[in-house]
Amino acid sequence: MSDKTTKTIMEPRLITLHDCDFSTYIFEEEIIARINILAEQIDQEYAGKNPLFLAVLNGSFMFAADLLKRVSIPCEISFIRLSSYQDMQSTGKVKEVLGLTEDVSGRHIVVLEDIVDTGHTVNNLLHQLAERNPASVEIATLLMKPECLQHELNIKYVAKSIPNDFVVGYGLDYNGLGRNLRDIYKIVS
């Protein structure tokens, strides 16, 4: 790829979703490079363990797909739902886990999240999973906002930590829009 091409790809872009403007923030190339690192770590740490990845829908679908393509050890994936976010404010209300039909007892679980903000979602999910006696549970998240965390959580795999900005793209939405974007955008304040 020539310098000229790279420069063209990396130029900031502005988009409008509903009533908000967003600007490019983390480009696809960086996302994939960071996911490659996570996949290598997981390959090493879960060899021989047949991990069960639990991807939390909707936001983690792109992260889950790109990560799983790069994990080369035998593994399984299932998709669950558990959401607490409406508009741009975390409600703190967490729903039950939906769609977990697998018997997770004795399994090594890796939860795949799009973003950890307050940590309410992951904290609640960890409690619900613990009741099902898995062998281990770790969290892999694409993004994390350490400033916002309200729980003592040990998040083992974080592709990137970011400040407290509202972001969209690469699976993350703003009221339904933006999930299809290849790059991550942040709100223009």
Q: In the bound complex, what is the minimum distance in angstroms from residue 36's beta carbon to ligand 5GP?
A: 22
User: Nearer Cβ to ligand 5GP, position 38 or 168?
Assistant: 168
Q: Which residues on adjacent β-strands are paired with residue 168?
A: 185
CB 133 within 8 A of CB 151: no
Query: 122-141: which residues touch ligand 5GP (CB under 6 A)?
Result: none
183 contributes a contact to ligand 5GP by CB under 6 A? no
Q: In the bound complex, what is the minimum distance in angstroms from residue 13's beta carbon to ligand 5GP?
A: 18
179 contributes a contact to ligand 5GP by CB under 6 A? no
171 contributes a contact to ligand 5GP by CB under 6 A? no
Which segment (10-18, 22-30, 37-45, 169-177) binds ligand 5GP by CB under 6 A? 169-177
When binding is defined by CB under 6 A, the residue of 39, 67, 116, 126 that contacts ligand 5GP is 116
Task: Kindly write down the DSSP assignment for every residue of 16-78, as one continuous string.
Answer: EETTEEEEEEE-HHHHHHHHHHHHHHHHHHTTTS--EEEEEETTTHHHHHHHHHH--SS-EEE
What is the C-alpha separation between 41 and 38, in angstroms, rounded?
5
Q: In the bound complex, what is the minimum distance in angstroms from residue 43's beta carbon to ligand 5GP?
A: 25
Q: In the bound complex, what is the minimum distance in angstroms from residue 44's beta carbon to ligand 5GP?
A: 27
The CA distances from residue 111 to 8, 24, 90, 123, 179, in Å, are 36, 27, 20, 11, 20
Residue 103 catalytic? no
107 contributes a contact to ligand 5GP by CB under 6 A? no
Of 127, 124, 186, 111, the closest CA to residue 150 belongs to 124
When binding is defined by CB under 6 A, the residue of 35, 117, 129, 157 that contacts ligand 5GP is 117
Task: Kindly write down the DSSP assignment for every residue of 148-170, as one continuous string.
Answer: G--S-----EEEEE--S--EEBT
3-state class (DSSP) for residue 130: helix
54 contributes a contact to ligand 5GP by CB under 6 A? no
Residues that are catalytic: 117
* Interface with ligand 5GP (CB under 6 A): 59, 84-85, 90, 113-121, 166-168, 172-174
